[in-house]
Chain A
Amino acid sequence: MTRLACFLVPLFPLAARLRSEPELLQEAVVIVEGNGPAAHVVAATRRARTKGIQTGHSLAQARSILPKLIARGRDSECERTAQEALLEVAETFSPRVEDAGEGIIFVDISGMERHFASEEELGKAAMRAGDDIGLPVRVGIAASKLAARVAAELPKSPVIVAPGKEAEFLAPLPLGRLTPELDAATTLQRWGINSIGELARLPESEIASRLGEVGRDIHSAARGVDPRPLIPRALPPEFREGMELEWPLVALEPFLFIASAALDRLAKRLEIQGFACKRLEMTMNLEPDGFHSRAIDLPAPTRDVKTMLTLLRLDLEKTPPGAPVTAFSLVAHPDRPRRAQLSLFGPAALSPEKLATTIARLVSMLGEDRVGMAMTVDGHMPDRYALADFAPPPPPDLKRKPRKSRGLLAARIFRPPVKVDVITRPSRSDEPGDIQIQAIEGEGDLSGPVRVSSGPWQVEEGWWKEGRDQRDYWDVELMRGGSYRVYRGEERAWFIDARYE
Chain B
Amino acid sequence: MSVTATARPLEQLQFRLFRPVPVVAPQIVETPEPSPLRDDVRQLRETLQATVAAKVTSATELLRALDRTRREETIPTTLDAFDALLGGGLPRGKMVELTGRRAAGRFSTVLAALAAATSMGEAAVLVDLGDHLDPQLAEENGVDLRRLLWIRPKTLKQAVMSTEMIAATGFQLVVLDVGLHPIRSRRVPDASWVRLARTAEANGTALLVSTPYPLTGTASEAVVTAERSRTQWLGRGKAPRLLASITTDLMLMKHRHRKPGAQGSVTFAAQDAPASVATKNDGTNRTDRTETRVAYLPALPAAAAGGAR
**Residue of B106, B151, B266 most packed against chain A (CB within 10 A):** B151
- Whether, in the assembled complex, A428 has its beta carbon less than 8 Å from a beta carbon of chain B, the answer is yes
- Whether, in the assembled complex, A412 has its beta carbon less than 8 Å from a beta carbon of chain B, the answer is yes
Within 8 A of B (CB), among A409-449: 409-415, 427-428, 444-445
Chain A, 381-408, contact with B by CB distance < 8 Å: what is the 0/1 string? 0111111001011011001111111111
Taking CB atoms, residues of chain A closer than 8 Å to B110 are 410
Chain A, 467-480, contact with B by CB distance < 8 Å: what is the 0/1 string? 00000000101000
Q: Are A428 and B112 in contact (CB under 8 A)?
A: no
Inter-chain CA distance A103–B132, complex, in Å, is: 58
Partner-contacting stretch, out of B13-21, B50-58, B235-243, B250-258: B235-243
Inter-chain CA distance A477–B245, complex, in Å, is: 12
Which listed residue (B103, B119, B135) contacts A375, Cβ 8 A? Answer: B135
Taking CB atoms, residues of chain B closer than 8 Å to A401 are 120
A452-B231, A454-B233, A477-B231 known; A501 and B141 CB under 8 Å?
no
Partner-contacting stretch, out of B1-9, B31-39, B159-167, B188-196: B159-167
Q: Are A373 and B149 in contact (CB under 8 A)?
A: yes
Which listed residue (B108, B130, B149, B162) contacts A410, Cβ 8 A? Answer: B108
Q: Are B142 and A405 in contact (CB under 8 A)?
A: yes
Inter-chain CA distance A376–B112, complex, in Å, is: 18
Which listed residue (B134, B146, B153) contacts A383, Cβ 8 A? Answer: B134
Q: Are A409 and B245 in contact (CB under 8 A)?
A: yes
Which listed residue (A347, A403, A413) contacts B142, Cβ 8 A? Answer: A403
Within 8 A of B (CB), among A301-345: 344-345
- Whether, in the assembled complex, B216 has its beta carbon less than 8 Å from a beta carbon of chain A, the answer is no
Inter-chain CA distance A399–B122, complex, in Å, is: 9
- Whether, in the assembled complex, B154 has its beta carbon less than 8 Å from a beta carbon of chain A, the answer is yes
Inter-chain CA distance A428–B239, complex, in Å, is: 10
A-B residue pair count with CB separations less than 8 angstroms: 227
- Whether, in the assembled complex, A482 has its beta carbon less than 8 Å from a beta carbon of chain B, the answer is yes
Inter-chain CA distance A372–B133, complex, in Å, is: 13
Partner-contacting stretch, out of B22-30, B41-49, B286-294, B300-308: B286-294
- Whether, in the assembled complex, A157 has its beta carbon less than 8 Å from a beta carbon of chain B, the answer is no
Inter-chain CA distance A393–B288, complex, in Å, is: 29
Give the interface of B toward A (CB within 8 A): 62-63, 66, 70, 75-79, 102-108, 110-112, 115-117, 119-123, 130-142, 145-154, 158, 161-162, 165-166, 168-172, 180-182, 204, 229, 231, 233, 235, 238, 240-243, 245-246, 266-271, 287-290
- Whether, in the assembled complex, A358 has its beta carbon less than 8 Å from a beta carbon of chain B, the answer is yes
| Nearest-CB residue, chain A, relative to B203 | A348
- Whether, in the assembled complex, A453 has its beta carbon less than 8 Å from a beta carbon of chain B, the answer is yes
A390-B149, A405-B141 known; A366 and B135 CB under 8 Å?
no
- Whether, in the assembled complex, A500 has its beta carbon less than 8 Å from a beta carbon of chain B, the answer is yes
Q: Are A376 and B150 in contact (CB under 8 A)?
A: no
A350-B169, A454-B233, A481-B102 known; A407 and B241 CB under 8 Å?
no
Q: Are B233 and A452 in contact (CB under 8 A)?
A: yes
Closest 3 CB pairs of A and B: A407-B289, A403-B119, A402-B116
Minimum CB–CB distance from A423 to chain B (whole Å) comes to 18
Which listed residue (A362, A386, A412) contacts B130, Cβ 8 A? Answer: A412
- Whether, in the assembled complex, A184 has its beta carbon less than 8 Å from a beta carbon of chain B, the answer is no
Minimum CB–CB distance from A429 to chain B (whole Å) comes to 10
- A–B complex contacts, Cβ < 8 Å, 10 sampled: A373-B150, A376-B145, A402-B116, A405-B116, A406-B287, A407-B112, A407-B267, A410-B141, A413-B133, A501-B106
**Residue of B77, B135, B147, B289 most packed against chain A (CB within 10 A):** B135
Interface of B is mostly: mixed
Inter-chain CA distance A470–B199, complex, in Å, is: 47
Q: Are B149 and A407 in contact (CB under 8 A)?
A: no
Q: Are B103 and A475 in contact (CB under 8 A)?
A: no
Minimum CB–CB distance from A439 to chain B (whole Å) comes to 17
Give the interface of A toward B (CB within 8 A): 344-348, 350-351, 354-355, 358-359, 361-362, 365-366, 370-377, 382-387, 390, 392-393, 395-396, 399-415, 427-428, 444-445, 452-454, 475, 477, 481-483, 498-501
Q: Are B172 and A348 in contact (CB under 8 A)?
A: yes
Q: Are A501 and B104 in contact (CB under 8 A)?
A: yes
Q: Are B136 and A384 in contact (CB under 8 A)?
A: yes
Taking CB atoms, residues of chain B closer than 8 Å to A376 are 135-136, 139, 145
| Nearest-CB residue, chain A, relative to B77 | A405
A348-B70, A370-B153, A407-B269 known; A395 and B169 CB under 8 Å?
no
| Nearest-CB residue, chain B, relative to A476 | B243
Inter-chain CA distance A347–B117, complex, in Å, is: 10
Inter-chain CA distance A366–B154, complex, in Å, is: 8
Which listed residue (B120, B162, B270) contacts A409, Cβ 8 A? Answer: B270
Taking CB atoms, residues of chain B closer than 8 Å to A371 are 149-152
Taking CB atoms, residues of chain A closer than 8 Å to B168 are 358
Q: Are A410 and B111 in contact (CB under 8 A)?
A: yes
Q: Are B103 and A408 in contact (CB under 8 A)?
A: no
A405-B141, A408-B268, A501-B246 known; A393 and B70 CB under 8 Å?
no
Inter-chain CA distance A395–B124, complex, in Å, is: 12
Minimum CB–CB distance from A286 to chain B (whole Å) comes to 34
Taking CB atoms, residues of chain B closer than 8 Å to A351 are 169-170
Taking CB atoms, residues of chain A closer than 8 Å to B181 are 444-445
Taking CB atoms, residues of chain B closer than 8 Å to A501 are 102-108, 229, 246
Q: Are A403 and B116 in contact (CB under 8 A)?
A: yes
Inter-chain CA distance A452–B246, complex, in Å, is: 14
Taking CB atoms, residues of chain B closer than 8 Å to A386 are 135
Taking CB atoms, residues of chain B closer than 8 Å to A482 are 102-103
Q: Are B139 and A500 in contact (CB under 8 A)?
A: no
Inter-chain CA distance A411–B136, complex, in Å, is: 10
Q: Are A374 and B102 in contact (CB under 8 A)?
A: no
| Nearest-CB residue, chain B, relative to A415 | B131
Inter-chain CA distance A259–B61, complex, in Å, is: 47
| Nearest-CB residue, chain B, relative to A414 | B132
Q: Are A499 and B103 in contact (CB under 8 A)?
A: yes
Q: Are B162 and A454 in contact (CB under 8 A)?
A: no
Q: Are A347 and B289 in contact (CB under 8 A)?
A: no
A347-B172, A400-B119 known; A405 and B78 CB under 8 Å?
yes
Inter-chain CA distance A32–B45, complex, in Å, is: 71
Q: Are A408 and B108 in contact (CB under 8 A)?
A: yes
Q: Are B76 and A402 in contact (CB under 8 A)?
A: yes
Q: Are A408 and B271 in contact (CB under 8 A)?
A: yes
Q: Are B162 and A362 in contact (CB under 8 A)?
A: yes
**Residue of A345, A359, A412 most packed against chain B (CB within 10 A):** A412
Inter-chain CA distance A454–B240, complex, in Å, is: 7
Minimum CB–CB distance from B269 to chain A (whole Å) comes to 6
